[in-house]
Structure 1
Amino acid sequence: MIIIDFDDTLFDTQQYIRDILALFVQHGVSVEDARAAMKSLILTEHTQVYNHTFEHHLESLQSLGYALPTRVLLHALKALTQKTDYSFSDTVSFLERLSALGQRVILLSAGNESFQRMKYESTQCPPFFDEAVFVQSHKEEYVASVYRVGEPLFFINDKSPENEAVKRLCPHAIVITKHNPYKAVGDHASSMSFPTFDSLLDIATYIETYDR
């Protein structure tokens, strides 16, 4: 079984965020306020829940006193993924190679389900997955629910804390870190040792040649 994260692993989330913020700036919102409003809706140590949606983002900014054209902005924001496939350039080739292995391939994404599904379905990814799972937090709990000792399970993700949580619950899982190109190498520092790759295609090669 192969379980793959979506944001910053298959999907260029940082470019997507920049495009979202640019739309708010065009309507008079400071980039600092737009970014802070988004961060307040993304997983924090206190809430432990991802809940970003365009509607919530707008409401957060309007609560700061910004008079924003809700209908116009929602249309423009939702049009972003209709105009652009934010998948990384090697995403489709990577998924094609994994599909050829004959293993069950599952997408595991944390966030507001309708928002994450909208992003996912805007890409060419869906045909390559046997299942798409959306959780609001704690990916490790889902991984643990499908993990079976003695059966190989690959988990591919860009965030070290999540990778560590998976490894603690599923010690025999093969956890692979996809380097986020927008972060310095040191930002992926972990108390555990995981194979780390810049390229999705290198991850495909690693899985294809993995010797248990």
Structure 2
Amino acid sequence: MFIIDFDDTLFDTQEFKQAMVKSLESVGVSRKLFWQTYIEARMLVDGSLSYSFERHARILEKQGFDYNEILRNFNLINIKNFLFLDAIDFLESLKKMDQDLYLLSLGDEFFQKLKVGQCNIEKYFKKVFFLSKNKELAVKEILDENSDSNIFFINDKIEENLKIKNDFPEIEIILRQSSNIPDEEYKSSGIIYFQNLTEIKKYVTDKLK
């Protein structure tokens, strides 16, 4: 059984953000202003992080930009192009091994559903969780419903993985390296990590033989 994160694990979130920056260049939004307003757009009043195109467009509207034009440019981005190139092969390989797959997607529910839906990957998963905060409750729910002895959790974020490892020692934790996290942090985490999904596929295939 596999519990798999979406952003920066199956989906190239960092390149997607760069495409968002470029999409607003034609309407006069500078890179500096984009990132300033992006940070504001993803921070909710309760301190949690949850981004959406609509929230970002509203903030830029206060800076004098046209809300509909901003939103239109964002929506021209072809989201499915940012699924990692080896993601489909990875998911199909796991399904061929007769494994149940669960997807965890953290953030604004509508926005995360938009990204996952356009990537057309829901069909590979037994269940998809769209989460506003931590992933631990979803993991607990999955474990309560399953008795599988081989359970893998694949994610890019070191702190999240360390918490899952501590709370659920029966799960094997695997880090999928993200381009925005230094290699040294992965090395010092003490958790096995790989640069891409193809490497992870080989590792788990050998483990499940």
Q: TM-score, structure 2 length as denominator?
A: 0.89
Corresponding position of 1:200: 197
Measure, in 1, the Cα distance between the counterparts of 2:85 and 2:170. Answer: 31
Contact residue 157 and residue 177 of structure 1 kept, 8 A = yes
Q: Give unpaired runs (5+ residues) of structure 2.
A: none
Measure, in 2, the Cα distance between the counterparts of 1:186 and 1:24. Answer: 34
Please give the residue correspondences for 1:23-172 in structure 2 after superposition, counting only pairs within 5 Å: 23-42=23-42, 47-63=46-62, 66-81=63-78, 84-147=80-143, 151-172=149-170
1:182 is displaced (CA, Å) by 4.3
1:40 is displaced (CA, Å) by 2.9
Residues 43/186 of structure 1: CA separation in 2 closer, same or farther (3 Å cut):
farther
Give per-residue Cα distances to partners, 1:166-204, cap 9 Å, x unaligned.
Answer: 11111121110001134431243554x211011201111
Contact residue 81 and residue 119 of structure 1 kept, 8 A = no
Identical residues among aligned pairs (%): 28
Tell me which protein shows more helix as a share of its residues: 2
Please give the residue correspondences for 1:172-187 in structure 2 after superposition, counting only pairs within 5 Å: 172-187=170-185
Does residue 3 (structure 1) correspond to residue 3 (structure 2)? The answer is: yes
Match of 2:74, SS state, is helix
Give per-residue Cα distances to partners, 1:115-149, cap 9 Å, x unaligned.
Answer: 00101111142221122111012112211232257
Corresponding position of 1:14: 14
Give per-residue Cα distances to partners, 1:149-175, cap 9 Å, x unaligned.
Answer: 773221100010111111111112111
Q: CA RMSD in A?
A: 2.3
Measure, in 2, the Cα distance between the counterparts of 1:61 and 1:43. Answer: 15
Q: Which letter does structure 2 place at the counterpart of 1:174?
A: E
Give per-residue Cα distances to partners, 1:10-44, cap 9 Å, x unaligned.
Answer: 11111110111122332222212211222234369
Q: Give unpaired runs (5+ residues) of structure 1.
A: none
Q: Which letter does structure 2 place at the counterpart of 1:51?
A: S
Q: How many residues align?
A: 207
After alignment, is 106-115 or 175-184 more displaced? 175-184
Q: Which letter does structure 2 place at the counterpart of 1:4?
A: I
